[in-house]
Amino acid sequence: MDRRTTIKWMLAASAAWPAGRAAAGPPTHGTALLRPPATPGYGTDPDLVTPHKRGEFWPLTLSAAQRRLAAVLSDLIIPADEHSPSASGVGVVDFIDEWVSAPYPTQQRDRPVVLEGFAWLDAEGARRGARGFAELDAARQAAVCDLLCDATRAAPEHREAAHFFALYRDLTAAAFYSSPAGAKDLGYIGNVPLTSFDGAPPELLKKLNLT
């Protein structure tokens, strides 16, 4: 899939996701791994200036194998092309790891969805003859994703996994397109300081009937 198709999917999935997430219900595996971390966060006023290291605020969750799976899945969603690197190439895996480890309500809600989704993918990979999802060849990885990419059309036995995929796709796209490479890929030109401002372009004012 190309990156611009991914953006369209992201926008469509975002519109349908709140209802789908509620329908997915609670996690089915009450393991200790799925419980949220019992650590405090940084509050409502984070320091966005000082550089921070991975895991500085709270213990991170993903194992090396899970991080590899996260990278493979992220790159299936947003692969590298002639314009920019893949999702994993801009740090999406680090974002996902921080997200599922953070002790805040939204992240705590998403944590079991992501971890159970990873477990489902590895089980499906094993069912298809590999040690896990990351070990499948590209064609079989894509075939698994095809089962999940549209939650409204997924088979009943794949509905919960499809809700995971919708969440993971949203997180991947949000992380990628908030990175410098993603913003450049979108052609976003905001957040750039100007030494002067001459007003809106005349052609834009004319188009908006403001001349």
Nearest CA among 74, 39, 75, 46 for reference residue 60: 39
Residue 64 confidence class, pLDDT cut points 50, 70, 90: very high
- pTM of the predicted structure, to 2 decimals: 0.74
Residue spans of the domains in the chain: they are: 3-207
**Exposure string (b/e) for 41-63, b if CB count within 10 Å is 16 or more?**
eeeeeeeeeeeeeeeebbebbbe
Of 135, 124, 104, give the one whose Cα is nearest residue 164: 124
* pLDDT, tens digit, 9 for 90 and up, residues 100-142: 999 999 999 999 999 999 999 999 999 999 999 999 999 999 9
Residue pLDDT, tens place only, 174-205:
999 999 999 888 888 787 788 888 888 899 89
Of 75, 90, 185, the residue nearest 141 (C-alpha): 75
